[in-house]
Amino acid sequence: MATQIDNTPAISIRDMVKRYAAPDGGEGKLALNGVSFDVPQGGIFGLLGPNGAGKSTIINILAGLVNKTSGSAEIWGFDIDSQRRNAKRAIGIVPQEIVFDPFFTPFEVLENQAGFYGVAKHLRRSEALLEAVRLADKRDAYARTLSGGMKRRLLIAKAMVHSPPILVLDEPTAGVDVELRKQLWDLVTELNNDGVTVVLTTHYLEEAEELCDRIAIINHGTCIANKPTRELVDMAREKIVAVTVGKDLSDAPAHEAFTKVVMSGQRGVEVTYDKDKLTAGQVLGILHEQGLVVEDVTTREADLEDVFLQLTKAANAEEAA
Ligand code: ADP
Ligand code: MG
């Protein structure tokens, strides 16, 4: 199945609109407002956006769980409407919610799913998948006795039974502890190294920055950026200088060239500035001119969070206009 398909994107979404019906027959919620983006083959692609942005709606439309209002999508070159069967075979989806029949064992969960996809007995790889997600020793335990982390790993194995070239994980690490998050990241990276194109949604900027080589930002049901992670982070124009000054301040220092000034305690000042207009040295010069003795300095490079805030602020302003 995982045969390469030239330069075709792994997933291609065009002008996708979703309006959920209102229970009272009213307007309904416009969850997707014309989303378009491509996921290239072979990488780890992050769909990043705040809660309610529309990420799960996109995933659920790809999974065939939600009907779109309009627009189109192709998975591995197959149209999700006219080539539904092939599109479905090309993708494995790990849903946001954990749902299992508690009375099946991990081995049975995988065998049932393989049966559902019509994977012939001799082509099944339930044992190997359990091994891959480190659940071989839980092969015959009841699913209900598994920890939350084990259940998530089992869901990943379940999504891979038909050997799809694309694995999609919806908020894989929401509400999981640091150690398990690390485990899941390793697992995702391993699968990707084996050639699986991975798409994951997250509202954790740190996760996207760490794990994904490319990121699309979803905000209010539209895609406002889709770039290699490096480029996206480099878009941050703002930098921050944090200083400790030699005397207690009653007011934060102000200057027209500063984008933002935040006090931390009586002597701590954090100045945000546009790196295209000022240097850190100039920021310190301005503070000095204002009679402040700087006793300690740290600078912080802009990160994905800064870019995210800049982009969403700009998009929201445009929407309001
Ligand atoms: P995300 O996954 O980015 O947090 P969702 O796709 O779950 O966002 O939701 C997008 C918007 O659509 C939200 O405003 C949410 O409340 C709404 N929504 C999601 N599912 C439904 C539904 N079944 N019926 C009505 N509204 C929904
Ligand atoms: Mg979601």
- DSSP states along 112-128: HHHHHTT--GGG--HHH
Give the pocket of ligand 1 (CB within 6 Å).
20, 29, 31, 49, 51-57
Identify which of 16, 18, 20 to mutate to test ligand 1's pocket (most ligand atoms within 8 A of the CB). Answer: 20
H/E stretch holding 288 reads: helix 280-289
**Measuring from atom 12 of ligand 1, which residue has the nearest CA?**
31
Average pLDDT along the chain: 90
Q: What is the DSSP letter of 53?
A: S
pLDDT tens readout for residues 35-46: 999 999 999 999
Cα(59) to centroid of ligand 1, in Å? Answer: 11
Look up tokens 């997933």; give the residue. Answer: 11
Cα separation, 269 vs 9, in Å, equals 47
CATH number of 238-301: 3.30.70
Going by alpha carbons, the residue nearest to atom 13 of ligand 1 is: 52
Please, where in the chain does CATH 3.40.50.300 lie? 11-233
CA distance 136 to 306: 42
Tell me, yes or no, if the pTM score tops 0.75: yes
Mind listing the pLDDT tens digit for each residue in 132-170?
999 999 999 988 889 888 898 999 999 999 999 999 999
DSSP 149-175: HHHHHHHHHHHTTT--SEEEEESTTTT
Which distant-in-sequence residues (6+ apart) come within 8 Å of 189 by Cβ? 44, 211
End-to-end CA distance of the chain: 47
Ranges for all domains in the chain classified under CATH 3.30.70: 238-301
List CB contacts of 284: < 8 A, sequence separation 6 or more.
241, 243, 294, 297
Pairing of strands 197-202, 44-48: parallel
**236 vs 309, residue with greater confidence:** 309
Cβ atoms of residues 257 and 278 within 8 Å = yes
Atom of ligand 1 nearest to the CA of 49: 3
CA of 221 to the centre of ligand 2 (A): 12
Residue nearest to atom 14 of ligand 1 (CA): 52
User: How far apart are the CA of 280 and the centre of ligand 1, in A?
Assistant: 42
Q: What is the pLDDT of residue 4?
A: 55
| CB-based contact 48:218 (threshold 8 Å) | yes
Q: Which residue in this structure is represented by tokens 């996809």?
A: 117
Can you name the residues that pair with 19 across neighbouring β-strands? 30
Given the DSSP bridges, would you call strands 214-219 and 222-228 parallel, antiparallel or unpaired? Answer: antiparallel
Report CA(87)–ligand 2 centroid distance (Å): 22
Give me ligand 2 centre to Cα 171, in Å.
7
CA atoms within 13 A on the CB side of 4: 6
Contact predicate 210/42, CB 8 Å: no
**Residue 248 has which token pair?**
């207690």
Residue with CA closest to ligand 1 atom 15: 52
Given ligand 1 and candidates 17, 30, 56, which is best to mutate, with the most ligand atoms within 8 Å of its CB?
56
Eight-state DSSP code of residue 137: G
Taking residues 178-188, what's their average pLDDT? 88
User: What distance lies between CA 311 and its chain's CA centroid?
Assistant: 16
Residue 108 tokens, joined: 């049975």
Give the number of the ligand closest to the Cα of residue 52: 1
Q: Which residue has the tokens 């979703």?
A: 18
- pLDDT of res. 302: 66
Our CA angle for 28, 52, 189, nearest 5°, is: 135
> Which atom number of ligand 1 is nearest to the Cα of residue 170?
2
Q: What's the rounded Cα separation, in Å, for the pair 173 and 184?
A: 8
The pLDDT of residue 228 is above 60: yes
Cα–Cα distance measured from residue 267 to residue 284, given in angstroms and rounded to the nearest whole number:
15
State which H helix or E strand residue 188 sits in: helix 178-193
Nearest CA to ligand 1 atom 7: 56
- Tell me, what's the pLDDT at 162? 95
The predicted-structure confidence for 253-294, as pLDDT tens digits, reads as follows 999 999 889 999 999 999 999 888 999 999 999 999 999 999
Q: 56 CA to middle of ligand 1, Å?
A: 7
CA distance linking residue 61 with residue 67, whole number of Å: 6
Longest dimension (CA), the chain: 79
Fold category of 11-233 in CATH = Rossmann fold (3.40.50)
pLDDT at 93 over 90: yes
